[in-house]
A and B are shown apart, each in its own frame.
Chain A
Amino acid sequence: MKSEEYKKYLKRIKRDNLLVLFTQILIIVIFFVVWQILADKKIINTFLVSSPSKVLDTIVDLMKQNNLWKHIFATLYEIVISFILGNVIGIVFASILWFSKFLSRVFEPFLTILNSLPKVALGPLIIVWAGANTKSIIIMALLISAIISVINIHNAFKVTDPNKIKIVRTMGGSKLQVFTKVVIPSNILPIIESFKINVSMCFVGVIMGELLVSKEGIGYLIMYGSQVFNMNLVITGVILLVILTIILYYVVYYIEKISKR
């Protein structure tokens, strides 16, 4: 039986949450409305900054030409592939480094340097080596996401509670058993945390790659739009990216929620 005070307390929390959500939505609505009004009153130059109605028109046009989903799926496909590969590489290499102290000492400085190197500088090289296609976009995204996930996951592995490891060793556990029974399960949250970072890293990598080479994808839309001075297309591309980011963020957020149970 809940007391009156407790019910009130729960109600208040619910109300606060709703208020936050409402305000967030309000900000977005106001932003678009003001943008539209300023465009209608010709206070801002719609040739440069477009307007919500023009963005909508552009989206409808793209749909009519059967292009919208093609571009979205191209980008999504590249992100998903590089996200999966990036995480696999991250976990596999971090595990290898955990198993071998020698390799970890050898590779640590290389990883740090590679990580701080602006990967976009390697773009032209990758295009020459892998060709101007999806492959180089994925390699680009992997360069950005995989290195940081190797570093993050390995760092998490390294600080696994030594007492828990000791307990397994006192029971006669092998290094592999220490890894499977302690290191992996105690680092599920850091691994998911690294997935979260990886989503945005893959995004950056894919869009960067698309800006450099592609023939399709949202990055291509933006690049193409800017080249023909069609700002409506550029801004539509950016807005599509925002929507995609929100969706991917929530996908990872729910994965995290499920795994925390």
Chain B
Amino acid sequence: MKPILEIKKLYKTYHTKKCEIEALKNINFEVYEGDFIGIVGPSGCGKSTLLSIIGNLESITKGTVKKDKNLKIGYMLQDDCLFPWLTIYENCLLGLKINKICNKENIDNVKKLLSTYGLKDFMNNYPNDLSGGMRQRAALIRTLAIKPDILLLDEPFSALDYYTRLSVSNDVLDIIRKEKKTLIIVTHDISEAISMCKKIIVLSKRPSTIKNIYNINYKEDRENPIKNRSSREFMNYYEKIWEDLTNEK
């Protein structure tokens, strides 16, 4: 199988007036269709930078990011970033309008997504009327509206309280799986990554290099991140990754 995204010898350096910051150093990995990849690492290590580079928001200092020209990317941020002056429905159409692909097929797709994921009755409400979890779901539908091949999630749940966070991550993962998308998620929460992802990339402190890549396998075929948390494998991975992160040299 050919990877849909290939990162080779990637370096990223920031320049400020005072100094030069080496954020990423020699990053290499591949992403295949249907992958669920989690990127974890100490705070400020350049996780989000890596995501921004993949999402074409930042330039590369050295190296290559090889991807298909038509690869469509969907992005979700920590804050749901729904526009309070637009209704949920209008918010979900944002990407279509920006890309000028607001045709009937795409609009129907958005409507379908809204009704499948329980937001049909709130279509004409404004974001402020919705709960945190619903808003996050709406943000995901907005991202899915442009039919992306790969989803980039940058700490998407960290603004939510613990309970909402668990149930929303469950929801979101379910949707992404049903829509058969590829996922890269950046998080500082190791347990979130282990419970959700099939592959975890552990980054070191700045300048970040890849410390380890784990393929996450559960004995039982578990798709529910909350259930995954109670398995023995979960604890094993947790200990290993924790050690990676704490034994910085």
Contacts and interface: CB of A to CB of B under 8 A. Distances in A.
Interface of A: 161, 163-164, 166-173, 177, 181-182, 185-186, 188
A186 B57 contact: no
Residue from the set B75, B81, B97 with the largest chain A CB neighbour count within 10 Å:
B81
Interface string B67-111: 000000111011101010110000000110111000000000000
B34 interface: no
B55 interface: yes
A239 B63 CA distance: 74
B85 A172 contact: no
A17 to B, nearest CB: 26
Contact of A168 (B73, B94, B146): B94
A185 to B, nearest CB: 5
Residue from the set A167, A173, A185 with the largest chain B CB neighbour count within 10 Å:
A167
Interface size band for B: 10 to 19
B77 A177 contact: no
B75 A167 contact: yes
Contacts of A167: 75, 77, 81, 94
B55 A188 contact: no
Nearest to A172: B99
Contacts of A185: 83, 85-86
A168 B77 contact: no
Contact of B81 (A163, A173, A188): A163
B85 A188 contact: yes
Nearest to A174: B98
Contact of B98 (A161, A164, A173): A173
20 contacts: A163-B78, A164-B81, A164-B83, A166-B75, A167-B77, A167-B94, A168-B98, A170-B55, A170-B57, A170-B74, A170-B152, A171-B94, A172-B98, A177-B98, A181-B94, A181-B97, A185-B83, A185-B86, A186-B83, A186-B85
